[in-house]
Amino acid sequence: MKIAIIGAGPAGLTAAYVLSKSNYKVDVYEASGRVGGMSCTIALWNQKVDIGPHRFFSTDKKVNSLWLEIAGKDYRMVNRLTRIYYKGKFFSYPIRVFNALHNLGLYEALRCIISYCKEQLFKKRYTGTFSSWVQSRFGKRLFEIFFKSYTEKLWGLPCDKLDADFAAQRIKRLSLYEAIKNAILQGKGNKHKTLVDEFAYPTGGSGMIYDRMHERIKANGGNVHLHCPVYRIITVNEKVIGLELGDGTFCEYDHIISSMPYSLMVERLPEVPEGIKKLAARLRYRNTILIYLLINETDLFPDNWIYVHSENLKMGRITNFRNWVPQLYNEENKTILAIEYWCNDEDTMWRNTDEELAELAKREIINTHLVKAASIEDHYVLRLHRSYPVYKKGYRYILSPIEEYLSGIENLSVIGRYGSFKYNNQDHSILMGLLAAENIMEGAQHQLHRINTDYETYQESYIVTTTGLSKQ
């Protein structure tokens, strides 16, 4: 059985690796020159950096077992420190009660508590938006302080135009009550992914996992074709027969696992109805721009990353790679920061030159007082097209008919952040790849589109610790 996997990100490589271990003939096609997708690791200034912050955390036994199978002993447990930058002050995240009270001041803290109590006593009508979801759990004032600005930077939409699915997937069951309970109990017994204070991280960067998968796929007889974009999947009578490469070459396959951008994949299917094609064209992705700055200092601030909630700054997130594992910087006595921005294709920022973007990042990081102007030595700009699927309010009404149509195409699986139009973490994409492989190898009937929404394993929780896999 010949299987093609489109895309060499976490989902695609996981599927290819699992299938290749069982002697399936697999070919992976990747448009770029590297594997790992948004979880790759790149070399800069004799150091290693990721594409923004990528922590790995899962409670799924299958996911963790596979991750450890690849990582071996080459990982460390990292103590997470993340904060929110708001109005020139740093707020601990997860919330630390006394830190928040001190930074907000008594008057503002009381406003937040009163706002939360009003929300609980006088429930407003749920509108299915991000703003209504968050306000119901935190109150209006905390929503305005700790959620609104960052979220609108990320998505380029007002919070009342953003679907609640984003909150449900990323914030899940978190509320002010849960956050305060976590602070009082100091994390004891906490299983909330948003609040975990420790995570596993490969000594070679996040991309080490996928580089190793790449090598093992080849060792198992599979192929990984880099710089080899796929133009479209070919179907006949709603059954996959192969794919067409970017150069027009046709390759025959028995099954295709796709993680190419969802809308492009659907629009280019040869037999797709016009109505489905029009729906796919309405789906939108958000772009990411990362400006890496080389700083001639080693002790800037202790955070792994910082969320920037200040409205007067366009940046959304700052990652300090010196605070992950020492193996990333080795003997170098300098720090690399990643300054993160988001925009749409039509935005001026997407068309700005690298120099213009670097000047913006330098100016803004200096304004936070985290870095001195004289210590910035160099910069590197990285642009990521279609990095976030946009959950505009009502997007499910667009997505559901497309999912139903695709489910009727024989021998096609869609997975990954790009491929399934899901705002996945690494663990979600790894799970998608695993279950897609099981569907092929075992004839399982896993509903891949349910992962990162209502999918549950209904198994005991296991986590990665210093000693390996441990029951939680």
DSSP string, 153-222: HHHSS-GGGBBTHHHHHHTTT--HHHHHHHHHHTTTT---GGG-SEEEEETT-THHHHHHHHHHHHHTT-
**pLDDT at 177 (0 to 100):** 65
In one-letter notation, the amino acid at residue 194 is T
Widest CA span in the chain: 68
Q: Which two tokens stand for residue 224?
A: 């990984």
Q: How wide is the angle at C-alpha 215 spanned by C-alphas 201 and 329, nearest 5°?
A: 35
Condensed to tens digits (0 to 9), the pLDDT of residues 67-121 reads 999 999 999 999 999 999 998 999 887 667 678 778 888 899 899 889 989 988 8
CA distances from 57 to 2, 210, 212, 371, 469 (A): 33, 16, 19, 30, 12
The list of the chain residues with pLDDT below 50 reads 191, 454-458
* CA dist., res. 328 & res. 221, Å (int): 31
Q: Which two tokens stand for residue 360?
A: 């913006």
- For 295, the 3-state DSSP assignment is strand
In one-letter notation, the amino acid at residue 58 is S
* CA dist., res. 316 & res. 293, Å (int): 15
Domain ranges in the chain are 2-54+205-283+394-451, 95-196
291, β-bridge pairs: 339, 381
User: Of the candidates 388, 407, 391, which has an alpha carbon nearest to the alpha carbon of residue 445?
Assistant: 407
Close Cβ partners of 288 (under 8 Å, ≥ 6 residues apart): 52, 340, 341, 342, 383, 384, 387, 388
φ, ψ of residue 68 in degrees (nearest 5)? -70, -35
* CA dist., res. 156 & res. 172, Å (int): 22
**pLDDT at 456 (0 to 100):** 47
**pLDDT at 455 (0 to 100):** 44
For domain 2-54+205-283+394-451, say whether CATH 1.10.10.60 is its number.
no
* CA dist., res. 60 & res. 431, Å (int): 8
**pLDDT at 457 (0 to 100):** 46
269 touches 414 (CB < 8 A) = no
